[in-house]
Structure 1
Amino acid sequence: MPLPHTSTSPSAQLHPCSVSLGIFLPAGLTAPLAERRTIDALAESGTGLFEVGVPHRAPVLDGPTITSAYHEALDRGTRVRDVLDTVSRAASRAPVVVMVYWESVARYGPGRFARDMKSAGAAGIMVVDLPDALAGTWAATLTETGLSSPRLVPPHTADDTLDEVCASASGWLYAPAAHEPTGYQGPLDLAGLDRSVRRLRKASTLPVVSGIGISTPALARAVAPLVDGVMVGSPIVGALTSAGREAAAALVADFATAVSAPAKDATHE
């Protein structure tokens, strides 16, 4: 199920195919020229969507791989103005959603943050720790700016809260595949994820994507039949930092192949 879009330009489409592979890339991990080459390599290897992460010093929902990458980017001097360059380059190759913690948005200024990311080519912004009290105002800001507002929906979300989350979301709903920080490498409760996705589909017509804990192509293949998009972060970031661009691109290609040929019975694999 494609996510809504208003034009045929890459930056305006969140999902160009029915089950898309999204790749997370922390902005500023390497020097600008190296980063541009990385973006090109990952795009050419099968990335259907880029999730560009805004580096944060205390990313409480992230595990050691992404936390370390964020710290390295910050130590390099990466700031929001640098993230805009990353978004612009990535948006020239695939749709882009900016992944960010609210503190960074608040410090920069919500309206300014949305406008600048839109100008850079982003299609949406997902605040992973968006305060419930600010969700409506933030959604209105993004709507006025022409951006989507995907929402992270933990499986324990109460029914009344779920309705509020869905009302403030656009673009997609994000169903975590694991109840752990990013980088989790254990087994996945596919039956539980299936129940969570079905619940979201009853509550909203928005597409559902999943990430967190999809650590191997085999797991991506198992998750793909349940959702409209599969998001992969820590495995790719880990490959980039430990083995380099070519290794990361090869791993993206493996994930892309897995997502394009999903398991027939994911809940029992």
Structure 2
Amino acid sequence: MHPQSAEQRHLDCLAQAGADLLEIGLPHTAPFLDGPVIQSAYRRALRNGHVLDRTVRAVEYAARLRPTVVMAYWDSVSRYGPDYVAGLFSDAGAAGVMVVDLPAHMAARWHQAASSAGLVTPSLVPRQTPSSFLPTAVAGASGWLYAPASTALTGHQGAVDIAALADFTQCLRQATSVPVVSGVGISTPALAARIAPLVAAVIIGTPVVRALLSNPGQAPAVAASFAQALRLTFREHRV
């Protein structure tokens, strides 16, 4: 039996801390939608090499714990090929792959490859998307739509315009029946609790990654604080 890697121990702790779903990022050299914390994590992963193989192994392990989704940039998908990437992560047990910067002219190609592999294809829809373009932006999406809470990069720790997010999620629901979730800039459990009534789920990334990079032993407590706040809020609004 092989000893557990650090990544596997972290995934165990996050699942036990209350994560209902795990998202694994495929490291990229130019993650232009991500802030300094995620960029730093990606640089560390890239220095270790064998990025795709290591990501697949992480997905294989994570998928045994919780439903797991891969977050990727289109450059990585196109470099390896949509069919290859979809098949690889499907075989690893992923439930889906979200390409955060999926080009409109490649959307049908990607959705076909993912669907053939049995993957859902969540879509990130930028807040600045014009209302007239929303039907096109959500076409082919499955699993959920990702509505960023902030228009800034991931890791934003400032104010979030809750009213604007509420309006945007309402527009998305009018454009599709796919559930809407939110992430990006949800920096505290209290803020997560304020956003939870607007969406079907809340995605927490940078606060957990920041802890993993600086003090891994604190990451489960960080994840648990968000999970507790969200469970309480969802319970109050769905009774």
Match of 1:249 in 2: 220
Rounded to whole Å, the distance in 2 between the matches of 1:264 and 1:212 is 23
Residues 155-164 or 50-59, more deviating: 155-164
Matched, 1:102 2:74: yes
Residues 2-60 of structure 1: CA deviation (Å, up to 9, x unaligned): xxxxxxxxxxxxxxxxxxxxxxxxxxxxx971111110000000011111000111100
Please give the root-mean-square deviation of Cα atoms over the aligned residues, in Å: 1.7
Counterpart of 1:90 (choices 59, 62, 77) is 62
Q: TM-score, normalized by length of structure 1? A: 0.84
Match of 1:149 in 2: 121
Match of 2:49 in 1: 77
User: Cα gap change, 1:39/1:263 in structure 2, threshold over 3 Å: closer, same or farther?
Assistant: closer
Matched, 1:226 2:171: no
What secondary structure, in the 3-state scheme, does the structure 2 residue paired with 1:184 have?
coil
Q: Percent identity?
A: 48
Match of 2:91 in 1: 119
Rounded to whole Å, the distance in 2 between the matches of 1:223 and 1:264 is 14
Match of 1:235 in 2: 207
Deviation at 1:263, TM superposition (A): 8.4
Matched, 1:214 2:186: yes
Rounded to whole Å, the distance in 2 between the matches of 1:73 and 1:212 is 21
User: Deviation above 4 Å: which 4+ runs of structure 1?
Assistant: 263-266
Matched, 1:260 2:231: yes
Rounded to whole Å, the distance in 2 between the matches of 1:265 and 1:131 is 39
Greater helix content: 2
Name stretches of at least 5 consecutive residues in structure 1 with no aligned partner. Answer: 1-30
Name stretches of at least 5 consecutive residues in structure 2 with no aligned partner. Answer: none
Is contact 1:225–1:264 with CA below 8 Å preserved after alignment? no
Residues 150-208 of structure 1: CA deviation (Å, up to 9, x unaligned): 00111221233211122221110010000001000001100110000011111111100
Match of 1:133 in 2: 105
Counterpart of 2:145 (choices 170, 173, 189) is 173
The count of corresponding residues between Structure 1 and Structure 2 is: 235
User: Cα gap change, 1:168/1:263 in structure 2, threshold over 3 Å: closer, same or farther?
Assistant: closer
